[in-house]
C-alpha cells in the first residue's frame, strides 16, 4: 500500500492519521470476494471513519460516494481503503475484522510505533512492515513543507500544489472555513485516503504559504 505510505509531516500532526486497506489477492482470494468486501465496508462504517473509497469507484465517500450503492458494486472490486483520525477507531476495525475472520489481507499505515502498538493490543501480530525512507533528489524543486503535508494525503498525486495554495489563501482571507477548504482538497483523491480532520487541524495551525 505504498500510495498511503509517504504522507509528509511531523510525528505530532501524523499522530491521528491512519489508513486501512483491505485487499484480496489475484489468484488467491479475489474470486467472489464481494461478500467479504461488503463485510469490510460494514466494519469500517461501524467506526468513526473519516473517508473511504477505491480507485474503481471513481470517487470517495466525501465526494458523494453512497455506501449502499457502493456496496452493490463490490462484486467487481478487489479492495477498499478507509481513513481514520483516531487510534480507537483503528483498534475497533481490527478487533471486529479479527472476530469476523474475513480472510482478506489488511494493511494499516500510520506512524509505525503507534500501528504496531495497536496491532498487539488487538491480539494480532504484524506480518510485514514497509517504511518510507523520505525524499531524495532535487528537493529544492518541491513545494513548501506545509503544502506537501496536504498534497501527500492523496497518494496518487491527484491533489495539485497550486490548489492547496489557493485554498489556504482563501482560508487566511476569511473566504473559506477550514471545513470547507478540507472538502475542496479531498475531492481530487478518488480512493478516499485524504484525511479531512488532519487537514482542518493543519489549516487551524495558521498555515503560512509564501507563494
All domains of the chain in start order, with CATH: 2-121 (3.30.70), 139-204 (no CATH)
Which pLDDT band holds residue 30 (cuts at 50, 70, 90)? Answer: confident
Contacts 24+ apart (CB under 8 A), 111-115: 111/11, 111/14, 111/15, 111/17, 114/15, 114/87, 115/18, 115/90
- The verdict on pTM exceeding 0.85 is yes
The pLDDT tens digits for 83-116 are 999 999 999 999 999 999 988 889 999 999 999 9
Please check the confidence at residue 118 and state whether its pLDDT lies above 80: yes
DSSP characters over the chain:
-GGGT---S-TTTTTT-EEEEEEPPTTTT-TT-HHHHHHHHHHHHTS-EEEEE-TTTSS-GGGT--HHHHHHTGGG--EEEEEESSHHHHHHHHHHHHHHT--SEEEEES-HHHHHHHHHHTT-------------S-GGGSPPHHHHHHHTTSTTS-S-HHHHHHHHHHHHTTSS-HHHHHHHHHTT-TTS---HHHHHHHHHTT-----
Which pLDDT band holds residue 211 (cuts at 50, 70, 90)? Answer: low
Amino acid at each position: 500500500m505504498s500510495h498511503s505510505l509517504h504522507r509528509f509531516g511531523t510525528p505530532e500532526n501524523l499522530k491521528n492519521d491512519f489508513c486501512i486497506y483491505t485487499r484480496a489477492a489475484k489468484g488467491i482470494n479475489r474470486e467472489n470476494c464481494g461478500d467479504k468486501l461488503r463485510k469490510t465496508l460494514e466494519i469500517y462504517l461501524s467506526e468513526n471513519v473519516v473517508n473511504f473509497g477505491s480507485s474503481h469507484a471513481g470517487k470517495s465517500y466525501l465526494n458523494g460516494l453512497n455506501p449502499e450503492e457502493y456496496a452493490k458494486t463490490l462484486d467487481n472490486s478487489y479492495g477498499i481503503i478507509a481513513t481514520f483520525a483516531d487510534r480507537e477507531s483503528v483498534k475497533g476495525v481490527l478487533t471486529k475484522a479479527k472476530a469476523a475472520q474475513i480472510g482478506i489481507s489488511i494493511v494499516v499505515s500510520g506512524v509505525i510505533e503507534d500501528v504496531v502498538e495497536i496491532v498487539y493490543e488487538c491480539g494480532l501480530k504484524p506480518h510485514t512492515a514497509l517504511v518510507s525512507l523520505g525524499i531524495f533528489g532535487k528537493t529544492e524543486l518541491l513545494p513548501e513543507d506545509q503544502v506537501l503535508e496536504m498534497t501527500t494525503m492523496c497518494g496518487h498525486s491527484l491533489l495539485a500544489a497550486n490548489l492547496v495554495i489557493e485554498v489556504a489563501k482563501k482560508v487566511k482571507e476569511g473566504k473559506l472555513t477550514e471545513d470547507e477548504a478540507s472538502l475542496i482538497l479531498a475531492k481530487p483523491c478518488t480512493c478516499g485516503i485524504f484525511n479531512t480532520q488532519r487537514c482542518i487541524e493543519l489549516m487551524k495551525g495558521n498555515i503560512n504559504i509564501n507563494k
